[in-house]
Amino acid sequence: MNELIIKNGLVHKGDGSGPEEFDVLVRGDAIVGFAKPGRKYGKNIIDAKGMVVTPGFIEINFDAGEEGGIFDDIFSTRLIRKGITTAIAGGNGLSLAPIFFGTTAFLRDRYSLRWNVNWQSVRELLSALEKRGVGINFGTLVGYATLRSAFMEGFGRDLTIGETESAGRVLSQSIREGAFGAAFDLSEPYLSGVNRQEILRVLNAAGRFRNVFTFHLRDERKVKESLAEIYDIAAAHNLNAEINHFQPLEEVRYEYLKAAKDIEENAAEKHLHFDVFPEPVIKMAAHDFLPPWIASGVLKDVLAAAKTRHLQERIIAYLDTLNLENIVVASMPKPLRFLEGKRLADVAASQELSLGKTLFQLAILSRMRGGFFSPSVSDEALKELMKSKHALLSAHYHRAEEENASLFPTILSSESSVEKITALPARKYGITRRGMIKEGYFADINVFKGGKPWYVVVNGRIIMERGMVRPQFAGRVLKSVAEK
């Protein structure tokens, strides 16, 4: 059985306690003990002197179908470079299972699918990944948009009572097959029209589970109303709930601070957490910028309509009224990845176009799959939210690695920040024996040098060495335990 020693490092255990200097002993896939610095060892040693050691990060907002996702980047090299050793997919409401007759077309509409879909259920998806192998540990939620697409093309009507009962049964079965819960991104065009009664009927048909159920605010500028909706849904079923991407917008920062205080005071009753990205930016999809009268359509119809000249002119005129000066390109499909990290204003200037027309062209060229950063988040309010004991942290927000320069020092700045991206999400999601440097836990470990990942270990295997990724299938496919 392979052994590994990580010695002389300053170790954050992930439990919120202060860092200590000690050696970590790994045998096989698990942490088997600790020792005081100074002992002599044989081979397989990582000398972490002057470095910081943490549990591997747990990312709860992974989009498995995107470029760079579980089938595009099969060894998860992008995630490894961020110190992420476990990823939970589906939090944006899009999951790769369950799949029915209309679901493949829906996912193909959202993703550039270049991989064969040879599964239907969550069990079959997880089995396919187990057979192929995964670079890091992987689990999934059931995305409600994916589930709902089985019953209609587009999202122009409510589900019938019979359809909600069927959707609930499928959701229940998917959780029993290993899904960690379900995700409802109410901000996306394909779910923005879904009313709370439909969600309640689906949850009622599914039955009560203690697994996690995540929600995105329906309107990030109407915090009080959007939270009230989530509270109602969560209270009706006593949900273990989480709010995704709770980035406090500058214009309504006090509403976010009030909301965080209310969550703090009532979280025990509401079983509620929220996650934030620890930098003052918010990521927006291309369709988020479109005028409301076109953004809610089916993607292929939006793209077709946008090609007509008079609609192009109307959309660009609308976009030119927005404040786009400080927008940054966050993510693009492969042919356009050279634009990642560039300011929209610089791209527009190089093409001698208006900001609105540049954004429109990028939206069309990326088939609405482009992502953009807006610096519209209150830095002061974000720091306050991060202090909450009910806050989780997300690291997978930037696609361009160089954009993460200040991310790691922020996370490593306090014991509580480390806990919020390791042990706390593990407890929230029911991910057993991960998220802490503790005897008997799986050896998912990061070693940071100069504020960046230098070594990454997954299940006892070194998958990053001296800053270089060593591609291999070291991860495990994770399955939840359905908790009633």
Residues 258-286: what's their mean pLDDT?
85
pLDDT-derived band at 350 (thresholds 50, 70, 90) equals very high
pLDDT in tens, 431-460: 999 999 999 999 999 999 999 999 999 999
CA distance 206 to 233: 14
Contact between residue 114 and residue 63 where contact means Cβ atoms under 8 Å apart: no
CA distance 55 to 422: 6
Q: For residue 401, what pLDDT is reported? A: 46
CA distance 419 to 430: 15
The alpha helices in 355-452, defined as continuous H runs, are 355-365, 379-387, 407-412, 415-419, 423-429
Q: What kind and span of H or E run contains 125?
A: helix 122-132
pLDDT-derived band at 333 (thresholds 50, 70, 90) equals confident
Residues 413-422: what's their mean pLDDT?
96
pLDDT in tens, 17-65: 889 999 999 999 999 999 988 777 767 899 999 999 999 999 999 988 8
CA distance 253 to 257: 6
Q: For residue 407, what pLDDT is reported? A: 83
- Bridge partners of 464? 456, 469
CA distance 217 to 223: 7
Pairing, β 30-35 against β 45-47: unpaired
CA distance 178 to 184: 18
- Architecture of the structural domain at 56-280+378-435: Alpha-Beta Barrel (3.20)
pLDDT-derived band at 281 (thresholds 50, 70, 90) equals confident
Percent residues over pLDDT 90 in the chain: 63
Residues 209-232: what's their mean pLDDT?
93
Tokens of 372: 């953009």
Short-list 264, 271, 267, 200, CA closest to 229: 200
Distance from first CA to last CA of the chain, Å, rounded? Answer: 38
Tokens of 479: 């399955």
pLDDT in tens, 171-216: 999 999 999 999 999 887 777 678 899 999 999 999 988 899 999 9
Question: Which residues neighbour 210 within 8 Å (Cβ) at sequence distance 6 or greater?
Answer: 240, 430, 483, 484
Question: Can you tell me whether residue 263 is helix, strand or coil?
Answer: helix
348 phi and psi, to 5 degrees?
-65, -45
In order of 327, 346, 354, the CA distances from 317 in angstroms are: 17, 20, 10
Residues 153-164: what's their mean pLDDT?
82
pLDDT-derived band at 136 (thresholds 50, 70, 90) equals very high
State the average pLDDT for the chain.
Answer: 89
Q: For residue 55, what pLDDT is reported? A: 98
Q: For residue 152, what pLDDT is reported? A: 78
The structural domains of the chain, with segments of one domain joined by +, span 56-280+378-435, 284-374
Q: For residue 302, what pLDDT is reported? A: 65
Q: For residue 402, what pLDDT is reported? A: 47
Amino acid found at 188 = E
Tokens of 332: 């693009």
Q: For residue 114, what pLDDT is reported? A: 63
CA distance 3 to 449: 22
Residue with tokens 């965080």: 260
CA distance 316 to 102: 32
Question: Can you tell me whether residue 284 is helix, strand or coil?
Answer: strand
Q: For residue 454, what pLDDT is reported? A: 97
pLDDT-derived band at 396 (thresholds 50, 70, 90) equals confident
The alpha helices in 177-282, defined as continuous H runs, are 196-206, 223-237, 253-270
CA distance 281 to 400: 14
Q: For residue 341, what pLDDT is reported? A: 86
Percent residues over pLDDT 70 in the chain: 91
Question: Which residues neighbour 313 within 8 Å (Cβ) at sequence distance 6 or greater?
Answer: none
